[in-house]
Structure 1
């Protein structure tokens, strides 16, 4: 798997994706890095399938890969994983939503090339119709990744306990059952500014990595 990932990174070049290439994919706020972390200090990527706007599956995957790389760039010291909080508010199974092939591509990228980066996946308030879709998709999910996926529903006692085990309710927005009394509205202009600033850090990081490799090869 390590060799395959090296080959994938060489071909796909995830470290070279920049925000201006994928910003249009993020206009609706379908995926963004939250301004809070989970109980274990892991950064949180919020995904909202109901705000899907992709014209192509490739664009959707590339946007997500960019944000995974960005989350990794912003991992706190001593932390190597992130959390996915997938909010199904406003979701419906229609042509505008992610199709099976794109979902499989996302699963493949995640479990084949970022297997140890995922701490937990919370599927928050998925509609019943999604369960049938997920049942088919689950055949493509490896057992280790599958165990990290949690279905959570509002006002459900067991689900509330799951959320409390992974999130500090004092930092969690009320729309996810927390005590922070505001809606987590997405501001594309503000988020774009943050991503452009991070692109500078990304370029410096990969330039320093490249220099380090070249220096090593030169000795």
Structure 2
């Protein structure tokens, strides 16, 4: 069970983690390869971001640089740094569908909660915009380049109509390509039988590294309950995941936290029209 608590280790046949001095050298090399881009996006292209991309690309400076250049191109178009809490449509409803918890897991990782069974009231474009906003908040308000997010998804009551495949595919693409190395584990809880056919298609969009981080748990099974007890303070974990936290979602408190986070990362509400990222084939 402890595999969910351990920090990520090198995959078989993959380069081992570099020493601190080697990592610093690789970070400098990537900066040199990026050239003037580091002046264009200094907040994004921090050492923390570069090291996260290096880790996600198996410590290859060439692959990390390529991925960062692709991400810079996407950020020029999408401008995620400009998305603020007050730009989000149907804020109160969307926040109940996905939110950053106000507690950490037992290893100090931040916790992202998603409830895909709650059907969205906004378009796929707006759902993606809110998802990017959450990822940007997690990435830019972190000084840690480690995989420091535990993602909990509650699928109880889920139906195929709840989550369009196109939105799922785009979300996976964004996580893997533009925010790599953030997710330590994604726990899919209480998936109904009908989810199996959906997952057979959706998992084809996952790369091998992210696929290994996806775990299926069922709160009515003792093994799953024990695993969650090892990972979380059960008094803080929501009842939807087998915890003892019965408090209802405090929207006003969450809104205040997100606005504070916006200020910390220097975001400002411009009400900019965000274009949907082109579909990937």
| TM-score, shorter chain, exceeding 0.5 | yes
**Contact 1:23/1:192 (<8 A) preserved:** no
Residue range with higher mean Cα deviation, 182-191 or 124-133: 182-191
Correspondence for 1:11 among 61, 65, 77: 77
1:86, 1:122 within 8 Å by CA — same for their partners in 2?
yes
Deviates more, 1:11-20 or 1:160-169: 160-169
Distance in 2, matches of 1:150 and 1:80, equals: 16
* Alpha-carbon contact 1:42-1:79 (below 8 Å) kept: no
Secondary structure of 2:88's aligned partner: helix
Deviations 1:93-123 (A, max 9, x none): 22xx120111000000001111101111000
* TM-score calculated relative to the size of structure 2: 0.65
- What is the CA distance between 1:79 and its match in structure 2? 4.9
The 3 A distance-change label for structure 1 pair 203 and 148 is same
The structural deviation recorded for 1:141 is 0.7
Equivalent position to 1:200, from 263, 267, 271: 263
Q: Report the counterpart of residue 98 of structure 1 in structure 2.
A: 163
Aligned length: 201
Closer, same or farther: CA 81–58 of 1 in aligned 2, 3 Å: same
* Number of the residue aligned with 2:22: none
SS in 2 for 1:203: coil
What does residue range 119-158 of structure 1 map to in structure 2 within 5 Å? Answer: 119-158=184-223
| Residue 82 (1) aligns with residue 145 (2) | no
> Which structure 1 residue ranges, 4+ long, deviate > 4 Å from structure 2?
76-80
Instruction: Verify the 8 A CA contact 2:141 2:264 in the aligned structure 1.
Output: no
3-state SS of paired residue (2:220): coil
Task: Give the equivalent residue in structure 2 for 1:213.
Answer: none
Give the Å deviation of 1:169.
Answer: 3.2
Q: Could you tell me which of 20, 25, 33 is aligned with 2:86?
A: 20
Q: TM-score, normalised by structure 1?
A: 0.82
The structure whose Rg is larger is: 2
What is the RMSD computed on CA atoms of the aligned residues? 2.2
Secondary structure (helix, strand or coil) at the match of 1:139 reads helix
Contact 1:25 1:54 in 2 (8 A): no
- What is the deviation of 1:10? 1.9
Q: Matched residues in 1 for 2:159 and 2:147: separation?
A: 33
Deviates more, 1:34-43 or 1:16-25: 16-25
Instruction: Call closer, same or farther: CA 1:76–1:52 in 2, change over 3 Å.
Output: farther
CA distance in 2, matches of 1:8, 1:70: 17
- Matching residue of 1:114: 179
Distance 2:184 2:86 in 1: 28
Structure 1 residues 2 and 184, CA gap change in structure 2 (3 angstroms) = farther
Unaligned runs of 5+ in 1: 206-219
